Structure 1
């Protein structure tokens, strides 16, 4: 179902949040058994894409991945658990926060292994940026995350503009 701009209905944060669980195999790791950062980034991009698509119900593409912190290693055999949620939306862009945990299936211990902020942009049928639904902010925490996300999005735009001026 596609919405015209006048039909966009605001959505709550929990309407688009997502969790992805993936088992890590030897093909996704170095000889020491540590999962490649690139594999974790791929999984971050996948879960952020799900959140973006759920929110705007149209194609959404990754515009940037920033503030990725790899806090602890992930090992072969671990289950990667990625939880993602919208923090902020602007006209056509969305900031999605991803929290990455690894669970050791032998002992059940979960460890926070990484975090990231992903900016997705909604696109229409012609591949042009299109308006996304507003975000309903119900709690103080959601309002705080929105405000912090908006500040990060403004900073990213300023940095992007500065980078383009150096080309």
Structure 2
């Protein structure tokens, strides 16, 4: 890490993009297609992580993509991405999606999501990323929430790592669901 800074401020890597939502991005219901929004989310996460690490980055995982409100044709969509957390080679990029009705000025929060990105060298090996300088309560809160989310994800992964799965041990869990078991 001799060529780049050892620590960077959050705002040094922030990225904001805006795009007018056109009819060719809509689904059969006349709303902007969620898949298109996911593609934009991945692009801005890449840009933010690459800006922070000064290297190529790949998407390792996506946590909690919650679609909170539909995005309408003709609205101005704005995405804001920040590095919320850094590990050795990974970064959690927090992204907030808002839209604005350009005629009325009404704004709405449509989505929040968290992408884990990993910095790579030209040979595809993970490389160390700069640390973060947290200079306000907002940055500290986002960093610590990321730690909690990472720990929760590890705990959840361990709960589902069942190599000794026997279906009979779980049949009682299915009693309240709309399933028919035929074997």
**Residue 139 (1) aligns with residue 136 (2):** yes
Distance 1:74 1:54 in 2: 28
Q: Which TM-score applies when normalising by structure 2?
A: 0.81
> 2:39 corresponds to which residue?
42
Could you tell me how far apart the structure 2 residues matched to 1:125 and 1:8 are? 20
CA distance in 2, matches of 1:154, 1:129: 21
1:66 aligns to what? 63
**2:51 is aligned with 1:54:** yes
The 8 Å contact of residues 87 and 146 in structure 1, kept in 2 or not, is answered as yes
Q: Quote how far apart the aligned CAs of 1:8 are.
A: 4.5
CA RMSD for the aligned pairs? 1.9
Tell me the alpha carbon deviations over residues 64-99 of structure 1, each in whole angstroms, 9 at most, x when there is no partner: 111111111001111110011111100000001110
Query: Which structure 2 residues correspond to residues 6-155 of structure 1 after superposition, within 5 A?
Result: 8-155=5-152
Q: Structure 1, unaligned stretches of length 5 or more?
A: none
Structure having the higher Rg:
2
Q: CA offsets per residue over residues 38-73 of structure 1, 9 Å max, x none?
A: 111111111111110110000011111111111110
Contact 1:8 1:132 in 2 (8 A): no
How many residue pairs get matched?
163
Runs of 4+ more than 4 Å apart: 157-166
C-alpha distance in 2 between matches for 1:18 and 1:83: 6
Cα 1:7–1:100 change in 2 (3 A) is: closer
TM-score by length of 1: 0.89
Change (3 A) 1:66 1:58: same
For the structure 1 residues 9 and 152, does the alpha-carbon distance in structure 2 shift closer, same or farther, using more than 3 Å as the test?
same
Offset at 1:20? 0.7
